[in-house]
Structure 1
Amino acid sequence: MDRKLVFATIALAACVLHTGAIQAGDRAFAKTVPALTGAPPEGFTIGRGTIAYNSSVDGSIYKVDLRSGKGEVLVEAEPDFDLFGGECVKLGMRVDPRTNYLFVAGCKVGNALVYNAETGEEIGDYYLAPFETVINDVAITREAVYFTDFTGPYLYRLSLSKGGRLPIGDGVLPVALIGNNDNDPLASPSTANGIVATPNGDTLIIGDSATAQIYRVDPLTGHSDRIIVEPPLEGFIDGIVAHKGLLYILTPFGDGSGPDWIQVVALDKELLTGRRVGIITDPDMDGVASGAMLGNSLYVNNARYTTFPGPDTEYSLTRLKISKVQP
């Protein structure tokens, strides 16, 4: 999720371009879903049921029902936010279903925020790193929440108490990412972006945006191994979604030629090698930044990086068929 800093052209919106629908039970889900007009978007996640959340660099969070398309502002934007002054206060998000807590990466503020995903009440604010450190994306395990750092080889761990409750006290631990060879510039991620955890929480997979590499990372020690993917990944790696043994890697502008890609990767059991089985494209994708699964559909948000953002700029979420993988 960090084409954001490379392109300050982002905004969340409400453009319901109903270009088609597919069935879920006896109810139709639209292919495109409105988001919040004029609020530059980046993070996206799905919580309980069909409720999704779209965050903006301006600090706002939009809550929307993917079934009905109806939404509301859950968290208001920061007052006097200046996008063109380089401000950025919210990026990646994930919901812990045990508590319905919404964990949010604090971008250039260097913090992590926690909200009640139902009411929008702020219930936690944790400073992970100094101001101007870009806290980028989020993964939740049974015992901790992990945040990536786009500005250095670090990972931040926020320990959780039993049942996913917030820690008593600070609970923040910085973890240095260390590869096998300190002289190798690709030994560990230095512009870390998307992050997912294995089901047991013992291993993290982190994407490096600038180098188009992905890494297997031990969340306790920070030891990282570069995952060798054939054919190699391309482009600017943004958000990562894991589903049924596959990684869906969001790549705005694809290989640089223009259209967005979702690169689909199958990993070996040791998580050391992978095969890029194909890509997903769709004309409704426009600067994909973050995504999440609902059933067998992948929803992505569209930051529209090449569109000048203004108060009336419209944006949407796109529903993708994961079966539509092209070689």
Structure 2
Amino acid sequence: MRRAPTRTACLVATVLLTALAGAPGPAVARDLPDTYVVSRAPGVLPEGIAVTPDGTLYVSSDGTGALYRGHIGRTDLRPFPARGLEGRTSTLGVHTDRRGRVLSVGGATLTVHDRHGRLLATRTAVGGPLGAPDLNDLTVTKDAVYVTDWANPVVYRADLRGGTLGPLEPWLDIREAFPQFPARYWLLNGIVANESGTTLLVASNGTEAVWRVDTADRTVTRLSLGEQSFGPDGMVLRGRTLYAVLNYGAPHGVYIARLDEELRTGTVTHRLTGEPFDLPTTLARHGCRLYVVNSQLDEPPGRPPYTVSAVDDPTCRTP
């Protein structure tokens, strides 16, 4: 959920990865907006997004660190009164849990807010092998929160016990899966978990790949999608369907893949590119619609208004 890597990083990835080689949903709502305005203030640069079961939207700002809230039935979002974010100048990943809490990351911190904006917890990541962390995205399972680091090839983990969040600690140095790849170019991005929390999928912009992690023994393997390169930004996993936003090395847009039962291999079945996307960074799914953030991060500070585009999910069946 950061900007695309340099061309040098991607060339390195291509060479090294080559060497390494070895269900029905509800009807699409036709009366909902196609575009949502996150903010009309200069420099917001939206980045992450979450949609709750009741249709509440949360969007993060890479430009200011703020959070915004709205509803899928209304076109405009408003600032979310999240306390305790004053010192965080950039907020990237944002997700909600089953209790309706809002979890977000940026800089070195993971924060948890209730639906009213009251700060419930702050956890700070220690520096990684390359220096200060730059937390990028997160996923929430029944017993943990997993967080990626753009600046270090590290996945962090915080235990969830009875709704209480434990310390945010280094959990996996992902370099072991591809030790010959330069550490500074891993550029970890989106992260998702299956429903049981036994498997993680971690996007790496630098390696232009998605990596599968077994949470029981931390074994890391590359997800095979039959593509020369597939390095997503944000992702959503629903059952065996992976939704991924690509914004470098391929036409910008949403790519949808059908995976095998063990989430080891898959095939890209749909590509949604072109209009209305403006450097999309990530997405959320609600009903039969995909909500895609238009970041404008390729030309900061961008040009207001900053928006989210809603498109139909082509994997859904309608009556």
TM category, shorter: 0.7 to 0.9
Matching residue of 2:189: 193
Aligned to 2:151: 151
| Secondary structure in 2 matching 1:230 | coil
Match of 2:110 in 1: 112
The structure-2 alpha-carbon separation of the partners of 1:60 and 1:183, relative to structure 1 and needing over 3 Å to count, comes to closer
1:240-255 matched pairs, under 5 angstroms: 240-253=235-248, 255=250
Q: Which residue is equivalent to 2:125?
A: 128
Q: How does 1:83-122 map to 2 (within 5 A)?
A: 88-97=89-98, 99-106=99-106, 108=107, 110-116=108-114, 118-122=115-119
Distance 1:141 1:186, change over 3 A: farther
Matching residue within 212, 226, 233 for 1:238: 233
State the alpha-carbon separation in 2 of the partners of residues 29 and 250 from structure 1: 22
- Mapped to 2, the partners of 1:43 and 1:112 lie a distance apart of 14
Q: TM-score, normalised by structure 2?
A: 0.81
CA distance in 1, matches of 2:65, 2:140: 21
The answer to whether the 8 A contact 1:210-1:237 is kept is no
Tell me the C-alpha RMSD between the 2 structures.
2.8
Partners of 1:323 and 1:171 lie apart in 2 by 40
Q: How far is the alpha carbon of 1:291 from its aligned partner?
A: 0.8
Structure 1 contact 280–324 (Cα < 8 Å) conserved: no
2:224 aligns with one of 201, 223, 228: 228
* Structure 2 counterparts to residues 139-218 of structure 1, below 5 A: 139-162=139-162, 165-167=163-165, 170-178=166-174, 183-185=179-181, 190-218=186-214
* Residue in structure 2 matched with residue 309 of structure 1 by the alignment: 301
1:284 to 276, 293, 306: 276
**C-alpha distance in 2 between matches for 1:4 and 1:253:** 6
2:66 equivalent in structure 1: 60
Residue 53 of structure 1, CA deviation: 0.5
Q: Secondary structure at the match of 1:214?
A: strand
1:175–1:220 contact (8 Å) kept in structure 2? no
What's the counterpart of residue 319 of structure 1?
310
User: Within the alignment, does 1:263 sit opposite 2:255 as a pair?
Assistant: yes
Cα distance in 2 for residues equivalent to 1:4 and 1:254: 9
After superposition, what is the alpha-carbon deviation per residue over 1:118-173, rounded to whole angstroms, capped at 9, x for unaligned?
Answer: 211111110122373111101010011110111222111111122xx123xx4333
1:32 corresponds to which residue?
Answer: 35
1:299 equivalent among 291, 298, 316: 291
Alpha-carbon deviations, 1:23-72, whole Å to 9, x = none? 62xx7111111111231211111124111011112111000111122432
Do the aligned partners of 1:175 and 1:221 also contact (CA within 8 Å) in 2? no
Deviations 1:184-205 (A, max 9, x none): 4299x93211111011111101
1:72 pairs with one of 78, 85, 90: 78
CA distance in 1, matches of 2:182, 2:205: 12
Distance 1:121 1:205, change over 3 A: same
Deviations 1:245-292 (A, max 9, x none): 21111012561xxx5121222222222222122311241110111211
Distance 2:270 2:28 in 1: 25
In structure 2, C-alpha distance between the alignment counterparts of 1:182 and 1:73, rounded to whole Å: 41
Q: How many aligned positions are there?
A: 288
Distance 1:211 1:182 in 2: 9
* Greater RCO structure (CA 8 Å; 6+ sep): 2
Percent identical across equivalent pairs?
Answer: 25
- Helix, strand or coil for the counterpart of 2:275? coil
Q: Deviations over 1:70-107 (max 9, x none)?
A: 4321137966x8xxxxx84311011002x21111112x
